[in-house]
Amino acid sequence: MTAPIAVRRLNAADADFARHLDHLLSWESVSDDGVNQRVLEIIQAVRERGDAALVELTRRFDGLEVACMADLILPRERLELALERISPEQRRALEVAAERVRSYHEKQKQDSWTYTEA
């Protein structure tokens, strides 16, 4: 099982917000060929082995023991219950985040993947 990752919250009202944000955004300056190579290996494993690779990677990186992809699918009832249990502020934050992601990726969609030669 992998060690839990500590998630740090930033508050734009904090005096040192800009410094902390700059530190987080400096990820690319420390990225190296080793990291990129590992990412390429993961992508290749998924391309070659599909769901079996995803199950293995879920075990390795998330520490979650699953037998197959079906074990990773959450039933709608469980998702709705989780949504009901969060605060209105948390729900609104999730809705705003989802809309931002949706809006960003809508701009990436292609009109068509077809090509007609002249």
The model's pLDDT over 13-53, given as tens digits with 9 standing for 90+, comes to 999 998 888 887 776 666 677 888 898 999 999 999 999 99
Boundaries of every domain in the chain: 13-73, 74-108
Q: Output b/e per residue, 20-33; b: 16+ Cβ within 10 A.
A: eeeeeeeeeeeeee
Q: What is the DSSP letter of 70?
A: G
Q: End-to-end alpha-carbon separation of the chain, Å?
A: 56
The CB-side HSE value for 21 (13 A sphere, CA atoms) comes to 9
Output the pTM of the full model.
0.50
Residue 31 confidence (pLDDT): 64
